[in-house]
Structure 1
């Protein structure tokens, strides 16, 4: 019985790892929560703003997209998709370092 449970857990863990690889990098949950990303975005469907998958599809192969998106995350910017502009980080949850913006953009582009 214990061997069956262990095997089941190993299969479940392997499945979870495979799913994580298939869907991109693991979510930087603390940053996503701190910046209140999910107030306007979802992973796969537009809400108040485009989904992370839509953003990734649009910018993934665009040269210089990474620094442009990092800048927009930190300082905000006009609405490119719909009517909702991106507020600056200070209004979303506090200052956002260049490294944290880089981490968030890498994660979004991996969707």
Structure 2
């Protein structure tokens, strides 16, 4: 990363792909509504990352939404409540999932 500014290096590190947390994705049934790169019933993970990547505190908001469900930000499909998609999600697991989404 020679030649990158400190903020450029931080952005490059943030957007570096991390390993897919497959067990969490399966447990929470994420692929019932999302795909990696095409909209389905909900936006793709890539679309979510593009929309929120440069928004301050977006990861905190997304982690909260993932843990609690909530109103639709795209179209008419809200994020299902935890019991409807695999059960409660710990703050640590929500963080892991959102960090992965943000690298898409």
**Same fold flag (TM > 0.5):** yes
Give SS of 2:31's match.
helix
Residue matched to 1:71: 64
Alignment partners' CA distance in 2, 1:97 and 1:109? 18
Find the aligned partners of 1:52 and 1:23 in 2 and give their Cα distance: 15
Instruction: Report the secondary structure of 2:61's partner residue.
Output: helix
Unmatched tracts of structure 2, length 5 or more: 1-14
TM-score by length of 2: 0.83
- From the CA coordinates, give the structure whose radius of gyration is larger: 1
Residue 87 of structure 2 corresponds to which residue in structure 1?
A: 94
Alignment match, 2:26: 33
Structure 1 residues 42 and 57, CA gap change in structure 2 (3 angstroms): same
Deviation at 1:23, TM superposition (A): 6.8
Relative contact order, higher structure (CA 8 A, sep 6+): 2
TM-score normalised by the chain length of structure 1: 0.78
CA offsets 1:11-44 (integer angstroms, 9 cap, x no match): xxxxxxxxxxx97111100000000000000000
Superposed displacement of residue 88, structure 1: 1.9
2:96 is aligned to 103
The 3-state SS of whatever aligns with 2:62 is: helix
Moved over 2 A (4+): none
- Alignment correspondent of 1:10: none
> Deviation per CA, 1:59-108, whole angstroms, max 9, x where unpaired?
01100101100000000010010110001222210110000000000000
